[in-house]
Structure 1
Amino acid sequence: MTAPQEAQPPIVLSTTDVAQIERLLALPAVENLPAAILLADEIARATVLPPEQMPADVVTMNSTVVCLEMHSGKEHRLTLTYPGQADASAGKISLLTPMGSALLGLAVGQVIDWPGPTERRLRVQVTQIA
């Protein structure tokens, strides 16, 4: 689950990503998952632009992102993928994970809280689109 609505940073999505994500969210196996509901909320609050107008510093589908855990200083290099392409051992995270849905649409420099492996929330900053 991402941060409460009032604490969420603004996000920008491409029309291409929105169309593909909406098709994914309409699948019977996906449509009632908690992550699907969160993603629908993210799409609803996003600024949506044509691909040619997307800023280069925004996380889109298939972006490789470098992000920093603020409390530990640990860096992560992650690629945002669709569910069938996810491979945690290779740093490929699904859009349907809390981490994946939290990163989508963020720009370099933005900070988001997301659930960590324990109940503690992680504060993470996007530092680079690789």
Structure 2
Amino acid sequence: MKYGNLMLEKKEYVYLKRIINISGYAEDFETKKAIQQLSVELKSANIVDDKEMPIDVIRFNSKVSVTSDSGWDRTIQIVIPKDKDLKQNKVSILTPMGTALFGYSKGDTVVWDFPKGKQNLKITNVIQEGSLNSIQI
């Protein structure tokens, strides 16, 4: 991992903790499992001010290109739950893919337990499309 631990901006961290707390009641097993894994990773995350956030770290509204070890490539945007839209490749932070990538950076390889088994995801690009400060919650 490029920065040692997950890297999160303070306001995004507070928002993420809030939605994790209320999402603990999710009925979908895979969503619950992904949220629990993210919750564990948040305990050792580096929390920084917005001005200290590296440009290549995945955060809310980041467009992320990933390559899997099973051979697929995909570009998605990580969004807050109400903005998810799979037709536009907008993936909620509360999905296994969203939780797997959030806080990692370009060049990192993430090993995550997806519904169909563990996969290695190589983060090949990160483009910032606006932070939590620019979206309405």
TM-score by length of 2: 0.77
Partner of 2:131: none
Matched, 1:93 2:103: no
CA distance in 2, matches of 1:117, 1:38: 13
CA distance 1:116–1:24, change in 2 (3 Å): closer
Q: Is the 8 A contact 1:25 1:31 kept in 2?
A: yes
CA distance in 2, matches of 1:66, 1:13: 19
Q: Is the 8 A contact 1:79 1:92 kept in 2?
A: yes
Q: RMSD over aligned Cα, in angstroms? A: 1.7
Question: Residue deviations 1:52-111, cap 9 Å, x none?
Answer: 100011001111101111331x22101001111111221111111111111001011100
Partner of 2:48: 49
Matched, 1:31 2:29: no
User: AA paired with 1:83?
Assistant: P
Identity %: 25
Partner of 1:22: 17
Measure how far apart 1:12 and its partner are: 0.6
Q: Is the 8 A contact 2:96 2:114 kept in 1?
A: no
Aligned residues: 118
TM-score by length of 1: 0.81
Measure how far apart 1:36 and its partner are: 3.3
